[in-house]
Structure 1
């Protein structure tokens, strides 16, 4: 294998508390990779500042001045974690043979990167970092995560359980992924669709060393919903099934009412009528909401707006 270049892409949003130690640790790991894999002799870091309002960009600039292996992209505003990952991969793949993505808090174990490089050298185009436990999660988060993966499987979505956005991808895998033009994108659900040879490395996720999580419950729920609606139309089909069942139930109720009328057993009342009205009304509102979500995503795609805007580049 000819001399290869590896770029580690790190999306960062208000990460001034952890970024200095993250940069030093990843640079040290890259030195380890270079020592263990002579074919991978060129390595660098690419940090994407996702519109931070703290000193994140200043830290990136300082690190770049001290070490030319540290590069940076700065968004003009906050575009979101997925956009930062895409921007990083798009900039990295221009010169890199392989790209590793990892979050700035390093809760995903960066010491597994050398093992990822080994799997890549063995022929894997995509190497997933997969958690082997959820001991650091609360009971609520652990239970909802397991339930979410089960729901996605039932909806026909091919997803690697307990894999977030810690992965290595070859140049051809990244190039193929970037050919997907959609704006409403769920990266961890789209990568398995590429079809290239894959491998996995397992690791134990560690608690965040400093700073706050950028994914509170509200954002986690929104992210989960985006994952479902970006990858499958199963919710719309479920609405069709629910509507069909409601119609069959209505036909049964009409038959029952006619029989009761003929037998003279009709009882006048409004309770059952009101319950039926509220139930049907609720089903209709939920159905309109789900369909509206897909229409809204379709409108976003049709507009074709840029995924992100880069303000500054350190190269």
Structure 2
């Protein structure tokens, strides 16, 4: 049986950290803070809220500083620019001090009321309690749901790390898992895949996302495609093998044109085959570009990794100065 993380004699003293990365979410910060405090205060645990300001251009920073003055449990990490959601999430994990860390988005689509359920499962001994989004008629556009399901299907097809559809960055992570994640220095980390990859005892909880409280989604179609490619190429080299198989397949198919070319040549019908020849060249040329693009993505990831640049840069923080050692 799993070891309990909280015993009846010591669990009250444990600290829960809630990490919330955000970009231009000023309209949601106050409401989210109120709901989190109202839920966590009766739990009996000590807690801290850690907002990561991922290069916001609105008044998020002023608001976070004001909230910290009113309640020191509400902390902030201000990054020097926008480093992206996954790197901001990594910054929060590096800085959080809790015996467990809960990560969630700042748009209130991740219901804070689910936190007691997360904590209960953690008390039972689970190291990671993660959420699985269940679609509802109000939970985003049909296009977004279809593309999301397609992403998970493709990822699970080409990767050895299997993610359940709807897995989100809304989870609880035990301190020993956080310590492992802090050692990761991957360029463009894909946290959903990394957390699945590390193992430990994990427990899923299904939820229906709430409607966004304020503002609009920062994930454009272009960003979603980039995120999908980031996830696929972070945990598998199968696309490279697929590119090789496709290359061999179409090389074999193109060989079927040889009899037709010879027939056309000896019968003076060279001009009549021009259309099919051009279509073949265009098709094979496009296929080659796709394959080169796949290879290029992997080479690019190796190139960036060899530079060993930091995942993020902290401009300022309300947390303890000793935490500055994790400013990368």
Asked if TM exceeds 0.5, the reply is yes
Q: Does 1:20 align with 2:23?
A: no
| Deviation by residue 1:139-167 (Cα, 9 ceiling, x = unmatched) | 11111111111111211341132011000
Inter-partner Cα distance in structure 2 for 1:236 and 1:255: 31
**One of 9, 12, 19 as aligned partner of 2:19:** 9
- For the structure 1 residues 72 and 211, does the alpha-carbon distance in structure 2 shift closer, same or farther, using more than 3 Å as the test? same
Q: Does 1:146 align with 2:149?
A: yes
| Deviation by residue 1:63-101 (Cα, 9 ceiling, x = unmatched) | 111111111111111111111110111101xx3110000
- For the structure 1 residues 257 and 123, does the alpha-carbon distance in structure 2 shift closer, same or farther, using more than 3 Å as the test? same
Residue correspondence of structure 1 range 26-45 to structure 2 within 5 A: 26-34=36-44, 41-45=45-49
Q: Does 1:75 align with 2:79?
A: yes
Gap runs ≥5 in structure 2 = 1-6, 320-328
Answer yes or no: is the 8 Å Cα contact 1:22–1:106 preserved in 2.
yes
Q: Does 1:125 align with 2:127?
A: yes
Answer yes or no: is the 8 Å Cα contact 2:185–2:311 preserved in 1.
no
Aligned to 2:64: 60
| Deviation by residue 1:192-241 (Cα, 9 ceiling, x = unmatched) | 11110001122111111111211122211221121112221222111101
Answer yes or no: is the 8 Å Cα contact 1:83–1:308 preserved in 2.
yes
Answer yes or no: is the 8 Å Cα contact 2:16–2:101 preserved in 1.
yes
**One of 86, 98, 101 as aligned partner of 1:99:** 101
Aligned to 1:286: 290
Answer yes or no: is the 8 Å Cα contact 2:135–2:145 preserved in 1.
no
Figure out how many residues of one structure are paired with residues of the other and give that number: 305
Inter-partner Cα distance in structure 1 for 2:49 and 2:302: 35
Residue correspondence of structure 1 range 1-315 to structure 2 within 5 A: 1=7, 2=10, 3-34=13-44, 41-92=45-96, 95-135=97-137, 136-156=139-159, 157-255=161-259, 257-258=261-262, 260=263, 267-268=269-270, 269=272, 270-315=274-319
Inter-partner Cα distance in structure 2 for 1:261 and 1:65: 83
Inter-partner Cα distance in structure 2 for 1:138 and 1:104: 19
Aligned to 1:37: none
Gap runs ≥5 in structure 1 = 35-40
Inter-partner Cα distance in structure 2 for 1:313 and 1:283: 48
Inter-partner Cα distance in structure 1 for 2:268 and 2:168: 59
